[in-house]
Structure 1
Amino acid sequence: MLAIVLSLGAAATFALSAMLIDRVNGRVAILQLARWQMGIAFAVTLVVSALLGSWQTVAAWQFGLLAASSAAGIMLASLTYFGAIMFAGPRISALLFTLASPFALLMGYVALGETVSAGQGAGIALIVFGIMLSITAPADAQVVGRSVRPFWQGIALGVITSVGQAAGSLLARPAMAAGVEPVTAMAIRSGLGFAFFLALMVTPMARRAMPLGRSELLNIGGSAILGMFIGMSFLMAALARGDVGIVSTLSSTTPILILPMLWATTGKRPTVAAWVGATLAVAGTALISFA
């Protein structure tokens, strides 16, 4: 029972984090947002990891894998994720995030020789169909409130985010399986991401910044703590206590949980296609997890 609560808690915090990022849309530059969020996430996870005294659990080869995981899952995927939210909205971004599961499956098949069952193939088809149903609904672009061209740019960025997340998970898997403490792993990944975004400031484009008020800082800090610390901690704790398939499925319900949140905050009722598409995407994740 606790694993179920933790899994749903992780999905809910991921949804809330996406909504907080959307609140600073147009008020914070994307690279500026990445610097602040990674910096806050690194500071929080570093303190917790130091208190746990778990840095000694990381060997050199594990650090190397986590660094590669950070390049794909943090340096690339966080940038595209922020762009996806700003162009396509938090609901579509959360829906596209379910593509990480089939991408990880396909990468495991190509890189590690893992098998793909008929049930998992059906799960991939359900996810793709659910996403297509949701984003091609006639009224959907109006619900999202973005213009057509940036909306489709957001779709592309969301797909890239899923590829980066899948690659990051695949690269981190051996290190985590060898016993690296999860908060320490996140501290390494976010710390390297923060260093990367700071280094980018040598370019004029990356130095572009907007004035940050109290509201912007609270939203950025809240999104970092909810998504990269609390959410991931819930997920790791759920995996330690429950069945992997159940945890993976329940923690992927973010596209469904975000719908009533958006309804409550915007007053705009999601379309039937949005509900059906999100449900099909989660069902596809379940097939991949259990097949």
Structure 2
Amino acid sequence: MFTVIPALAAVSASFGWASGIVLAQRPARELGAFEFTRIQLIACAALMSGLASALGLWPGLHSIDVPAYTVSVIAGVLLGNLAMIACLRHGGPRLTELLLCLKAPLVAMMAYLWLGETLSLSDMVGGAVVIGGIIMAIQATTPEESQQHRSAKTLWKVVLLGTAAAACQGGGFLAVKPMLEQGAEPIAVAAIRLTGAAVLISLIGLWPAGIMRSQAEGSPYLLFRTVLPGIIGYGVSSSLLLYAFAYMEAGLAAVLGSLSPIFVLPILWRTTKQRPTPKAVSGAVLAVVGTAIIVLT
């Protein structure tokens, strides 16, 4: 069933994620992947826990599958976010959003291998379309991106980080999927996942290694610029998408909530004054179409 307000909510969620990843690029580069992720996870864990408490959603967690949550926290949240932020620092928002489109075909493959779900022809076609769109869009680099990817080695690093982020985040979702299907409240599940990851990354941060340290001097403004994308992503966009899932057909809501690779292009055009090339637009559209083929069928 198509209704206007839930559809607008899903589209707004896509726009929020696209805006958030553009806003996150500079503070992520200044702080480093680890410190940026640590601050975001702590802030967003507090946000989602407060939201779950305010809405009285904790009773929706009838039981907790500890092994599944452990996998979801370590792979889906901690490693997935670290890989995504590292990809953002080296590849920029456009390539990061594109590579995260691999989540749909990777989840379909993992569900086939781990959960025994059927891998249909449409899944394989959709996956091929996603990969084709990503390859096309990667070839359409802007001058700024060309400067970042000074060698093929750097570009391959970006691709591997983005693929790892998509795989980890998709695997983390699959780990808690059975609990969600049994009626667990999504916001409460998200709060527990984020809290677990925040505790874990804080403990890891006690290790006195250079990679764990901030690469920039802290300031209230830098803290604000670090937390804001997380609030937009975890707080606003996730809540909008959950609203869309509740009031419209889930597959269509998922597609409308996956438009960020397209939305990020005009946002970057506005912020960098560099018009996206036709190949970049076509590749982003193909990646979203491939996701739609997988989700809707």
Shift, 1:252, TM fit: 0.8
Give the secondary structure class of the aligned counterpart of 1:31: helix
Give the secondary structure class of the aligned counterpart of 1:252: coil
Shift, 1:284, TM fit: 0.4
Out of 13, 16, 35, the position equivalent to 1:13 is 16
Q: Following the alignment from structure 1 to structure 2, what is the Cα–Cα distance between the partners of residues 53 and 66?
A: 21
State the one-letter code of the partner of 2:213.
R
| Cross-structure match for 1:168 | 172
Distance 1:54 1:25, change over 3 A: closer
Q: Mapping of 1:224-243 within 5 angstroms?
A: 224-243=230-249
Q: Following the alignment from structure 2 to structure 1, what is the Cα–Cα distance between the partners of residues 194 and 80?
A: 12
CA contact (8 A) 1:37 1:221 kept: yes
Could you tell me the percent identity over the aligned residues? 28
Q: TM-score, normalised by structure 2?
A: 0.93
CA contact (8 A) 1:67 1:188 kept: no
Shift, 1:47, TM fit: 1.1
Compare 239-248 and 92-101 and name the one that shifted more: 239-248
Q: Mapping of 1:27-106 within 5 angstroms?
A: 27-62=30-65, 64-106=67-109
Q: Mapping of 1:64-213 within 5 angstroms?
A: 64-137=67-140, 140=141, 142-144=143-145, 145-148=147-150, 149-205=153-209, 206-209=211-214, 210-213=216-219
Shift, 1:68, TM fit: 2.2
- What RMSD in Å do the two structures reach over aligned CA positions? 1.5
**Structure 1: tracts of 5 or more residues without a match:** none
State the one-letter code of the partner of 1:155.
V
Q: For each residue in 1:132-172, what CA deviation from the matched residue of structure 2 results, as whole angstroms up to 9, or x when unmatched? A: 011123xx052424133434312210000000111011111
Distance 1:27 1:161, change over 3 A: same
Q: TM-score, normalised by structure 1?
A: 0.94
Out of 243, 251, 267, the position equivalent to 2:273 is 267
Q: Following the alignment from structure 1 to structure 2, what is the Cα–Cα distance between the partners of residues 250 and 60?
A: 31
Give the secondary structure class of the aligned counterpart of 1:91: helix
Q: Following the alignment from structure 1 to structure 2, what is the Cα–Cα distance between the partners of residues 71 and 207?
A: 17
**Structure 2: tracts of 5 or more residues without a match:** none
CA contact (8 A) 2:28 2:226 kept: no
1:283 pairs with 2:289: yes
CA contact (8 A) 2:28 2:36 kept: no
Distance 1:246 1:127, change over 3 A: same
Q: For each residue in 1:66-91, what CA deviation from the matched residue of structure 2 results, as whole angstroms up to 9, or x when unmatched? A: 33212211111000000000000011
| Cross-structure match for 1:258 | 264
